[in-house]
Amino acid sequence: MVKLKENTFLQEDGQINTENWLARLSTIFPPHYIEPISQGIDFLWLIHDKLQNSELLITSLSMAEILVDLQTDPETIVASLFCSYVQTEQLTLDDISAKLGTVIPKLIAGTLRMDAIHYNASVDHKEQQQSLDNLRKMMLAIIDDVRVVLIKLAEQTALIREAQTSTPVKSSPLAKPASAKKDEEHTERRAGMYTRVHEDSSTGATKSFKAEVGLCKGSDKQLALDVMYIYAPLASRLGIGQLKWELEDLAFRQLHSHDYKEIAKSLDSRRIDREQYVEQVMQELRLALQSAGLEDFEMMGRAKHIYSIYRKMKRKDVDFSHIYDVIAIRVLTTTVHEAYTALSTVHSIWQQIPAEFDDYISKPKPNGYRSIHTAVVGPQNKNIEVQVRTRQMHEESELGIAAHWKYKEGAETELHFEKKIAWLRQVIEWQRDIANHETGITNADIHALFDDRVYVFTPAGEVIDLPKGSTPLDFAYAIHSQIGHRCRGAKVNGNIVPLTYAMNTGECIEILTAKHPGPSRDWLNTSTGYIHTDKARSRISHWFKQLDVAQHIQEGRAALERELKHRHLGQIDLNKLARKMHCKTTDDLCLGIGRAEIRLSNVMQHAQTLSTQIIQPDAPVVAKPLPMSETISTGTAAVQGVSGIMTMTAKCCKPVPGDSVIGYITRGRGITIHRIDCKNLIQLPNRDRLIEVDWQQQKKENYPVDILLKAHDHTDLLKDISGLLSTEKIRMLKLNTVPAQQNVLIYFSIEISDHALLQRIMDKLTHLPGVMLVQRVSG
C-alpha cells in the first residue's frame, strides 16, 4: 500500500505545490482517476482566488491527502476539497453542481449532515432528544453513501492534526473577508503561515499567496472530545486502523496532555535501547522464519501507541515502569498457510503467554478485522506482542471500509449485500459506543440501508429490522407476541395511523394496546393488508389454535346456533351436518368454526339442504309458512306468494339489502321489513303476521343505517371518519359525539345501498387509527 507523507502538497519553503502533488498521485492512480481530481484542484484554486482563505485551502488539501492514503475513488477525494467551503457558507452546492456534476454535491451534503452530533456528557431531556434526532440525520447520511463517513473521518483527522501545532496569533497581515467571520465561528480551525504556488492549467501562469490565521483554543477540547468518543470509535468499528490509532493518540494528547507527555517521555528515554532490542528480536525471528522455509514475508517493529499503553496502565492500575509489552512485531505473509507457519515458528523459539492469544483469522472481528495476535516472552525475558497476517489482511485492517473503494482495475466499487450487512452492523455498534460515552443519546439506531428492508425505532430507541411494506402489526409481533395480540392501534412519530400503514425507515412506532389479548381473524386475510411478515401471521394463527379447545367448541356452537336461528333453520341433524363438512363429530365442527378454520357461510349452505322446516318453534320470531310457487317483486323486497303489496323498511332497525330480514303485515301500511335480529320483533303483537320475505334484485337504492363507533379520543378522529366516507362516496346524514373518559362514542347515520357495502365500510372504520369498536345500532 503506497502511503504519502503528511502534507505532501507543501514544499520545504512552505509553498503549496499541487502540481507536484498530482504528479505523486499518478504513481498511485490510473490516468482516468487523476483527471477529475485535477479538475477539482483547478476549481479549488479558482474559488480560493476569490475568497483568499488559506485556512480552508490547507484543511481541504489535507483532507484530500488523507483520502488518497485510504485510496478512495476520485469523487470522494474531490468532494473533500469543497466540504469546508460549503460548511462555512462560502460556496453553495449549486455552485459545485454547475462545475463538477451532481455526485460531488450529494457526497458533501451527506458529510455535512454528520456535523449534527457532538460529544456532550451532560444534557437535559430536550437536548437529549435533539441529539437523538441529530444521530438519525447522521445515520441517514452514512447509509445513503458510505463514502461520506470517509470524508468526515478525513476532516476530523486533518483538524486534530492541525490542533497539535496551533499557536494563536494576535494579528494577520491580510484581513479576512466578511464571509470568513462565519468560518471562524463555525469551524474555529487553524492554519499557520503558508505560501501556495499553483500553475493554472489554462494560462500556465504561476500564482502565489500568503496568509496567516489562528485557531480559537476553546474549540480544541470539543474537537478532541468528538474525535475520542465519536470518530475514533467509528474508525475502529469500520476497521480503519490507519486512522483509528492516530485519532486516539492525537485526541488523548489534547485531552490529557500531562499523561501523554509522561508516557512519550518514558518511551523516548528508552528509545535507543528499544530500537536496538527491536532489531535484535526481528533478526532472531527473521532467521527462524527463513529456516522454516518462509522467504516472501515482511516484518516491522514499533512501540505500541501511546493511548494503547495508557489504557493498559489504567486497566492494570500500574505505572509505565510495570508495562513490559510495549514492543509490537508484525509479520506479513502472502498466504494464510504461511501465516500459521509463522505463528508456529514464533511459538517454537519463544515461550507463549496463553492468556494473550487471539486468532482473528479463523474468527474475524465483527468489523472484518483478521489477524493472529499472540504474546511471548522474548529475549531478556521481555514480553513481546506479535501480530501475524497476510498482506491482504493488513491492507484491509489499515483501510477497513475504505478498502471497498480502493482502486482496482476493472472492479466495481459498489458493496455487495453481505458487505452492506457487515457495514450496517458496524455502524450500529459504533452508535452504541457513542451511547456508552454519554453523548446524550440513549439507544438510537440507524435508518435505511436496503430497498427491501425498513429499520424503525421503538419508543425506547431500539431498532427493529423488518421487510419493506411491514405494518405496525408486524412491528408489534416483532417486539413480542402479546404486544401483537393486544394491539388496538399505533402511532408513528406521535401521530395515530391505521394498522395497515406501511412503515418507513427511521420512524418511531408506538403500539396502543388493550388490557386483554384479542387478535382479529381479519388480520389473517391477505386482502386486508394488516400483516406482511410470516412471523406475525404465524403468531396470530397460533393464538387462535391455542385457545382452550372447550372455549373454541363453545364459541363455535354458539355461533352455529345463532346463525341457524337467524336463518330460521330448525330440526337440523347436526351430526349429518358435521359429516357434510367432513368433520367426525359435532364438536369437531364447532371447534373448526370457533377456530375460524370453517366458514359459517359454507356451513349454512349445507344446512339449507338438511332443514326440515322453516319455522323454529321456540324462536322469538316466527315466520308464517306460505306456498313457494312464485316470488313477486314489489317495492323494496320480494314477498313470497303475494303480489301488489307495498313494502317499507322499519325505522327501528333500518335493514339494507343483504341483511337477513322478515316481514310484518301491518294494517293499511303494507309490509314492514325488519332485520331478523331486530329487538322490536319480540314486542310486536300478532306474531302470526310475520311473513318470509327476501330482497329483490333490481336497481339499487340507498338506505339509512345507524352506526356506533368507540375510539381513543384524538384530534384527527372525525377528520379520519369523514375522509373515509368521502373517499367511499358515502353520505353522512347526522353525527353525535359522547365523551367517555379518555375515549369517545360517536353515533352517526349514513346512506348505504346494500349489506356488502355496509360491511366493507364498517371494516374500514374498524381499522382507523385509535378505533376500538364499530357496530350497527338496531332496535
Q: What pLDDT does residue 328 have? A: 84
How far apart (Å, rounded) are the C-alpha atoms in residues 8 and 610?
96
Q: What pLDDT does residue 243 have? A: 85
637-640 vs 703-712, strand pairing mode: unpaired
How far apart (Å, rounded) are the C-alpha atoms in residues 743 and 446?
35
Average pLDDT over every residue of 346-350 = 93
Question: Which residues is 464 bridged to in the sheet?
Answer: 456
In order of 245, 356, 496, the CA distances from 397 in angstroms are 12, 20, 47
CA-wise closest residue to 65 among 50, 83, 81: 81
Cell of 71: 485510496
- Given a cut of 80, is residue 107 above it in pLDDT? yes
Q: What pLDDT does residue 126 have? A: 56
Identify the residue whose cell numbers are 411491514.
Answer: 470
pLDDT tens sequence across 535-571: 999 888 888 777 667 777 888 888 888 888 777 776 7
Sheet bearing 690-691, strands edge to edge: 647-649, 671-675, 661-665, 690-691
Cell of 744: 369517545
Element (H, E) at 433: helix 417-436
Lowest mean pLDDT: which of 11-20, 256-265, 769-778?
11-20
Residue, of 669 and 57, whose pLDDT is higher: 57
Average pLDDT over every residue of 79-95 = 91
- Name the amino acid, one letter, at 658: G
Q: What pLDDT does residue 591 have? A: 85
Angle between helices 74-87 and 93-100 (to 10 degrees): 150
In order of 356, 487, 556, the CA distances from 545 in angstroms are 54, 19, 13
703-712 vs 509-513, strand pairing mode: unpaired
pLDDT tens sequence across 470-529: 999 999 999 999 999 999 999 998 888 999 999 987 688 999 988 888 888 789 877 788
Average pLDDT over every residue of 91-100 = 91
Q: What pLDDT does residue 8 have? A: 67
How far apart (Å, rounded) are the C-alpha atoms in residues 181 and 188?
10
Q: What pLDDT does residue 73 have? A: 85
How far apart (Å, rounded) are the C-alpha atoms in residues 284 and 376?
14
Task: Give residue 268's pLDDT band: very low, low, confident or very high (50, 70, 90).
Answer: confident
Mean pLDDT of the chain: 75
Q: What pLDDT does residue 297 have? A: 93
Q: What are phi and psi of 531, to 5 degrees?
A: -130, 155
The helix/strand/coil state of 518 is coil
pLDDT tens sequence across 362-376: 888 876 788 999 989
The DSSP 8-state label assigned to residue 723 in this structure reads H
Average pLDDT over every residue of 181-187 = 36
Q: What are phi and psi of 82, to 5 degrees?
A: -120, 0
Question: Burial code of 374-402, b = ≥16 C-beta within 10 A, e = fewer?
Answer: bbbebeeeebbbbbbbbeebbbbbbbbbb
Q: What pLDDT does residue 201 have? A: 37
Q: What pLDDT does residue 447 have? A: 36
How far apart (Å, rounded) are the C-alpha atoms in residues 396 and 328?
19
Contacts of 271 (CB under 8 A, 6+ apart): none
Q: In 10 A of CB 310, how many CB atoms?
A: 21
CA-wise closest residue to 25 among 12, 16, 17, 34: 34
Q: What pLDDT does residue 656 have? A: 82
Share of the chain above pLDDT 70, in %: 72
Q: What pLDDT does residue 215 have? A: 33
Q: Are 249 and 305 in contact (CB under 8 A)?
A: yes
- Given a cut of 80, is residue 296 above it in pLDDT? yes
pLDDT tens sequence across 583-602: 888 888 988 887 777 877 77
- Given a cut of 50, is residue 116 above it in pLDDT? yes
- Given a cut of 90, is residue 319 above it in pLDDT? no
Residue 176 gets the label, from left (phi > 0), alpha (psi -120 to 50) or beta, of: beta
- Name the amino acid, one letter, at 599: R
How far apart (Å, rounded) are the C-alpha atoms in residues 365 and 241?
13
Question: Which residues is 455 bridged to in the sheet?
Answer: 465
Average pLDDT over every residue of 245-250 = 89
Looking at 474-531, which runs of residues are DSSP E strands?
Answer: 487-492, 495-497, 509-513
Question: Burial code of 462-474, b = ≥16 C-beta within 10 A, e = fewer?
Answer: ebbebeeebbbbb
Q: What pLDDT does residue 493 have? A: 84
pLDDT tens sequence across 665-713: 887 777 888 887 787 776 776 767 777 777 765 556 788 899 999 888 8
How far apart (Å, rounded) are the C-alpha atoms in residues 12 and 483?
68
Q: Model's pTM, two decimal places?
A: 0.46
The helix/strand/coil state of 774 is strand
C-alpha triplet 493, 495, 501: angle, nearest 5°? 85
- Given a cut of 50, is residue 632 above it in pLDDT? no
Q: Are 533 and 466 in contact (CB under 8 A)?
A: yes
In order of 150, 272, 320, the CA distances from 266 in angstroms are 34, 12, 8
pLDDT tens sequence across 134-178: 554 555 445 557 788 889 999 999 999 888 765 433 322 222 333
Cell of 166: 496551533
